[in-house]
């Protein structure tokens, strides 16, 4: 046994009590970079309009977001939207569907939900910032291989059917958003658009076409487009600025 | 051959009858086609009456959904849907299983009987 009180320093005096070193707790969750999501409608389109216009629009969008929560979602996630409808029973109308497209910039941003009800495919285009929308709920948050799922119109109806009373799928906040690598099977041709052509660049279809047709579709490929410098639009710096602005404004 | 995407309903569009009437559901070698739209423009949207040629007969019908995208917040269907109707506005069928847009309720007076037999609303 050696008590600290009985320790004698080199001077001959009793040593001062040194407390044991505190354990260092490394919080791995906070260490992982906070996932940032900036809704695509905040990014202004490329053009010569005055940035003041986008700034004013952003102020209005932030104001709306403070009052009404617009959750994070991507093309391919399943949403349930309740809108105020004067002609519906209970004055409100709930629609569940998969988001197939997000379009528009600023306050006119829209998203299209698709579902198949009683063998009838129905698509509704909602405006994100419309005051008629009462609630947006994300039932299943996931991404798909493409940005635009318009090909679901020509796919077998089972890929677009979602139960109206679907329960929300639970997920942790820190997990990465899952990418659903589903390859969709199509109805027989003719389709509304020639999805096999490289201009649509679709990765989420299981093409069961003969090799000859696939090779013929490659005739319309434009391999020079990805190197075209006039079409480049680098949004990284703009996104950083807008992210700082929006997150500060929303935290107030 | 099938024509490309012509969206709202005009003369000679093939339509799909969605009620459970005998006239609409018995198979025939020609699909039901629109021959006249009761409108100033010849283009029929949801809520317009049209004249249909079915099984060699002329019948009036009410448009309940089309492939053309309409105003935002209104549904867009994957097929041109139509409900067979008499001259006085009474529907011929007794049940409509396919979803009907809520917009039709605006003209509750004219379409009350059609809305009464509809099951699902979108």
User: Domain boundaries in chain B?
Assistant: 9-117
Does B121 sit within 8 Å of A88, measured CB to CB? yes
- Specify the pLDDT at position A11: 63
- Specify the pLDDT at position A12: 64
Count CB atoms within 10 A of the CB of residue A28: 8
Enumerate the residues of chain A whose CB falls inside 8 A of the CB of residue B69.
125
Enumerate the residues of chain B whose CB falls inside 8 A of the CB of residue A125.
69, 72-73, 76
Whether residue A157 lies inside any domain: the answer is yes
Q: What is the CATH number of domain B9-117?
A: 2.40.150.20
> Chain A contact for B2, CB < 8 A?
yes
Question: Which CATH number characterizes residue A110's domain?
Answer: 2.30.30
Task: Specify which residues A82 forms β-bridges with.
Answer: A94, A135
Contact between A54 and A44 (Cβ < 8 Å)? yes
The 3-state DSSP class for residue A46 equals coil
Contact between A81 and A95 (Cβ < 8 Å)? yes
Tokens of A247: 């997150």
> Chain B contact for A21, CB < 8 A?
no
* Of the partner residues A87, A121, A125, the one whose CB lies closest to the CB of residue B78: A121
For residue B59, whether the previous peptide bond is cis, meaning omega lies within 30 degrees of 0, is no
A36, A125, B76 from B71: Cα distances, Å: 33, 8, 9
- Specify the pLDDT at position A1: 57
The 3-state DSSP class for residue B1 equals coil
Enumerate the residues of chain B whose CB falls inside 8 A of the CB of residue A119.
98
Low-confidence stretches of chain A (pLDDT beneath 70):
1-13, 26-34, 174
A228, A248, B29, B40 from A72: Cα distances, Å: 32, 17, 50, 45
- Specify the pLDDT at position A28: 64
Contact between A192 and B67 (Cβ < 8 Å)? no
DSSP B121: B
Token match 């139960």: residue?
A163
Does A132 sit within 8 Å of B73, measured CB to CB? yes
CA distance B112 to B94: 13
- Specify the pLDDT at position A16: 84
C-alpha gyration radius of chain A: 27
Whether residue A138 lies inside any domain: the answer is yes
- Specify the pLDDT at position A175: 74
Tell me which residue of A126, A102, A123 sits closest to A114, measured CA to CA. A123
Contact between A127 and A103 (Cβ < 8 Å)? no
* Domain housing A91: 68-221
Count CB atoms within 10 A of the CB of residue B86: 11
Whether residue A196 lies inside any domain: the answer is yes
CA distance A207 to A199: 15
Tell me which residue of A101, A91, A80 sits closest to A132, measured CA to CA. A91
Beta strand pairing status for A143-144 and A120-127? Answer: unpaired
Whether residue A54 lies inside any domain: the answer is no
Token match 């929300």: residue?
A168
In total, the C-beta contacts within 8 angstroms joining chain A to chain B are 64
Beta strand pairing status for A120-127 and A110-117? Answer: antiparallel
A75, A83, B44 from B8: Cα distances, Å: 27, 25, 6
C-alpha gyration radius of chain B: 13
- Specify the pLDDT at position A25: 74
Does A83 sit within 8 Å of B102, measured CB to CB? no
Q: What is the largest CA-CA distance in chain A?
A: 98
* Of the partner residues B79, B105, B122, the one whose CB lies closest to the CB of residue A95: B122
Whether residue A177 lies inside any domain: the answer is yes
Enumerate the residues of chain B whose CB falls inside 8 A of the CB of residue A89.
121
Q: What is the largest CA-CA distance in chain B?
A: 40
Low-confidence stretches of chain B (pLDDT beneath 70):
1-7
CA atoms within 13 A on the CB side of A86: 5
Whether residue A162 lies inside any domain: the answer is yes
Q: Which residue of B has its CA nearest to A95?
A: B122
Whether residue A10 lies inside any domain: the answer is no
Contact between B92 and B85 (Cβ < 8 Å)? yes
Q: How far away is chain B from the Cα of A157, in angstroms, using its nearest Cα? A: 11
Whether residue A28 lies inside any domain: the answer is no
Phi, psi dihedrals of residue B47, rounded to the nearest 5°: 100, 0
Q: How far away is chain A from the Cα of B41, in angstroms, using its nearest Cα? A: 25
Beta strand pairing status for A179-180 and A143-144? Answer: parallel
Q: For chain A, how many structural domains are there in total? A: 1
Enumerate the residues of chain B whose CB falls inside 8 A of the CB of residue A190.
2
Q: Which residue of B has its CA nearest to A82?
A: B73
């Amino acid at each position: 046994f050696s008590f600290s009180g009985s320790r004698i320093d080199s001077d001959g005096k009793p040593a001062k009590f040194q407390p044991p070193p505190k354990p260092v707790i490394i919080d791995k969750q906070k260490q992982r970079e906070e996932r940032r999501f900036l809704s695509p409608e905040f990014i202004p389109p490329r053009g010569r309009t005055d940035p003041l216009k986008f700034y004013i629009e952003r102020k209005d969008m932030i104001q709306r977001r403070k009052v009404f929560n617009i959750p994070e979602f991507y093309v391919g996630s399943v949403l349930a939207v309740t809108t105020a409808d004067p002609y519906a029973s209970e004055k409100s109308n709930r629609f569940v569907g998969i988001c197939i497209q997000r379009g528009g910039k600023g306050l006119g941003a829209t998203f299209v939900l698709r579902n198949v009800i009683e063998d009838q495919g129905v698509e509704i285009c909602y405006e994100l910032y419309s005051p008629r929308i009462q609630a947006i709920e994300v039932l299943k948050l996931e991404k798909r291989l493409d940005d635009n799922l318009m090909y679901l119109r020509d796919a077998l109806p089972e890929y677009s059917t979602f139960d109206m009373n679907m329960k929300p799928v639970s997920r942790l906040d820190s997990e990465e958003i899952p990418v659903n690598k589903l390859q969709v099977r199509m109805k027989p041709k003719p389709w509304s658009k020639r999805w096999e052509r490289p201009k649509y660049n679709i990765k989420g279809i299981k093409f069961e076409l003969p090799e000859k047709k696939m090779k013929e579709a490659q005739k319309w490929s434009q391999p020079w487009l990805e190197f075209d410098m006039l079409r480049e639009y680098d949004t990284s710096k703009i996104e950083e600025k807008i992210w700082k602005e929006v997150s500060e404004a929303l935290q107030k | 051959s099938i024509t490309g995407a012509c969206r709202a309903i005009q003369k000679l569009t093939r339509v799909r009858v969605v009620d459970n009437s005998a006239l609409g559901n018995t198979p025939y070698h020609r699909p039901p086609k629109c021959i006249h739209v009761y409108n100033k423009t010849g283009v029929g949207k949801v809520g317009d009456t049209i004249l249909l040629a079915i099984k060699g007969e002329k019948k009036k019908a009410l448009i309940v959904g089309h492939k053309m995208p309409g105003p935002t917040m209104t549904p867009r269907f994957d097929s041109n849907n139509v409900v067979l109707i008499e001259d006085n506005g009474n529907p011929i069928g007794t049940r409509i299983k396919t979803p009907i847009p809520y917009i039709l309720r605006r003209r509750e007076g004219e379409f009350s009987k059609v809305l009464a037999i509809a099951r699902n609303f979108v």
